[in-house]
Amino acid sequence: MENTRRSILKKMTDAGIGTAGLALRCNAAAATVTTETSAEKKKKPAGKDDGKLRFGFIGTGSRCHEHINNVLSIPGNKIVAICDIQAGPIQRTLDHIAKFNVPAPKVYTGSEREFEKMLNNEEFDCVIIASPWEWHVPMSVAAMKAGVPYVGVEVSAANTLEECWDLVNVSEATGSHLNIMENVCYRRDCMAALNMVRKGLFGELLHATCGYEHDLRDVKFNDGKHYTYQKGGELRMGKDAFAEAQWRTNHSVRRNGDVYPTHGIGPVANCLDINRGNRFLSLSAMATQSRGLHKFIVDNGGENHPLAKVRFNLGDIVTSMIKCANGQTVIVTHDTNSPRPYSLGFRIQGTEGLWMNDGDHVYVENQSKPHRWDDSEEWFKKFDHTLWSKHEAEAAQAGHGGMDYVMMFDLINAIHNKKPAPMDCYDAAAWSAISALSEMSIARGGALVDFPDFTRGQWIHRQPAFALSE
């Protein structure tokens, strides 16, 4: 595999990054791609046996079920194998798959590394990873090194800069397509707004806001049986809890930054052509004090509850500002520990108008009444994306308002046509890096930190590709 390493080093040197840059910016990733991989194994072409794409799933919680619904509702797919360390989710997933009257998949369970056995034993066209965040990169890397041609990883794709480089380096070294499964990029209003941006309705873009503003207090705690906290019931987190409360809450204990940026930044990055003619240059972040989770414990369990002693590090509201190479600024907000209605806070603003999703507002100069908002619905009907207009009926039956279906359809279309992943390893790295960079900036008192160029200079020549056609 030394040739692979030399080719990566050459790419980096050509882009102005030598071996010193490799050590500083992707030392862990370099080690990853030099180890012997099984990517050289000959794999059967897609649909070789029966014409169906072969899917595997690692992590069998509720998110996996939503993906399974869409994989099996789109003709021409089958599920070969599933993997999880817990027997309960495995059985619930088998029961769920049985409702579709299709053959049961093989099951891999037991140790934490059982997914490696599944990847090496089976042949897949695509593996979807819907595990806890800390396992996203190890599992994605293992899948790519096992020769899986398309790997879909749930969000956020990575937690550290080293992990971001792992995704890029291994995808480049193996040729496997990594796709970040950011469903909000396929939200109907986001795709219509993207159409408006591409048709120049807002002029030259200047500024954007976005974020993840979602009260998750009753997801971060539960009674060990229900997905969300039941009023008056037990309060648990960690190994004694259920579902996301087993692992997600611990990130609020250990980290202080935007730990979940991609729902907001994904659609904005598409509008700004990030990694394709534009890129993120630098970031500065600040966080408020941490109050919401402790207050939730005291309000529901009392001051003497054992969890009241837990010290949460995550600020209740984290604000990051990003500067782009083409001049634009972006504000990203993370707010999950406070009582509030759900919002992703989108605002796409240019020299000739803007869209704000809070309030469903659009204003286009010389077309809207001066100083008066238009209802965005009428504009979005006119600029509805073809992925939605053609697949509205099928999407209506899917999760998250249909965007899960449209996302899976687009990925499957790429697999069938051997096209690049719709949201590739560079997107996964750039969008996810906001987590690590915001933590770094906050720890330094809001200091400006440089944004890595995960494309190594390719962004200058790469062309926009997301959702341009079917």
Is the pLDDT confidence value at 38 over 60? no
Nearest Cα to 457, choosing from 292, 314, 276, 319?
276
Model confidence at 302, pLDDT cuts 50, 70, 90, reads: very high
pLDDT-derived band of residue 207, with 50, 70 and 90 as boundaries? very high
Question: What would the mean pLDDT of 142-154 be, rounded to a whole number?
Answer: 98
In percent, the amount of the chain with pLDDT more than 90 equals 88
Could you tell me the pLDDT band of residue 339, with boundaries at 50, 70 and 90? very high
Residue 30: band (very low, low, confident or very high) from pLDDT cuts 50, 70, 90? very low
Measured between alpha carbons, how far is 308 from 134 in angstroms, rounded to an integer?
A: 25
Which residues, 6 or more positions from 4, have their beta carbon under 8 angstroms from its beta carbon?
33, 34, 173
Query: For residue 45, what pLDDT is reported?
Result: 59
pLDDT > 90? residue 399: no
Q: Which residue has the higher pLDDT, 3 or 81?
A: 81
| Residue 411, both tokens | 């990925």
DSSP category for residue 45: P
Over residues 334-348, mean pLDDT? 98
- CB within 8 A of 457, min separation 6: which ones? 14, 15, 16
The pLDDT assigned to 337 comes to 98
Q: What is the DSSP letter of 306?
A: G
Whether residue 37 is predicted with pLDDT greater than 80 in this model: the reply is no
Cβ-contact 314, 466 below 8 angstroms: no
Q: What is the mean pLDDT of residues 302-327?
A: 98
Q: Which of 7-21, 93-107, 377-391 has the lowest mean pLDDT?
A: 7-21
Instruction: Give residue 43's pLDDT.
Output: 57
In the predicted structure, residue 224 carries a pLDDT above the cut 60: yes
Mean pLDDT of 308-332: 98
Mean pLDDT within 183-203 = 98
Strands across the sheet containing 353-356: 374-375, 361-364, 353-356, 347-350, 205-213, 329-335, 317-324, 280-287, 449-450
Measure CA 43 to chain center.
Answer: 27
Least confident of 274-278, 334-338, 399-403: 399-403
Cβ count within 10 A of residue 201:
21
What's the mean pLDDT in 39-44?
Answer: 49
Residue type, 28: A
Q: The pTM is what?
A: 0.91
Give the model's pLDDT for residue 469.
72
43-57, 151-165, 352-366, 441-455: the lowest-pLDDT one? 43-57
List, in sequence order, every residue forming a beta bridge with 78; answer none if it has no partner.
Answer: 54
Q: Which residues pair with 236 in a beta bridge?
A: 222
- How confident is the prediction for the chain on average, in pLDDT? 91
3-class secondary structure for 49-96? Answer: CCCCEEEEEECCCHHHHHHHHHHHHCCCEEEEEEECCCHHHHHHHHHH
**Residue-level pLDDT at 243:** 95
Give the strands of the sheet with 53-58, arranged side by side. Answer: 106-108, 77-83, 53-58, 126-129, 150-153, 177-180
Query: Which two tokens mark 410?
Result: 């687009």
Query: What pLDDT is attached to residue 51?
Result: 87
- What backbone torsions phi and psi does residue 28 show, to the nearest 5 degrees? -70, -40
Instruction: Write the pLDDT tens digit of every residue in 256-275.
Output: 999 999 999 999 999 999 99
How many residues are recorded in the chain?
470
What pLDDT, on the 0 to 100 scale, is given for residue 36? 39
Among 24-33, 74-83, 315-324, whose mean pLDDT is lowest? 24-33
Whether the pLDDT of residue 32 is over 60: the answer is no
What's the confidence (pLDDT) of residue 404? 97
CA distances from 327 to 47, 278, 301, 377, 462 (A): 46, 9, 49, 30, 18
Burial bucket for residue 311 (CB in 10 Å: 0-12, 13-18, 19+): exposed
pLDDT at 15 > cutoff 80: no
- Give dist(CA 107, CA 125) in Å, integer: 18
Please compute the mean of the pLDDT values over residues 317-339 and round it to a whole number: 98
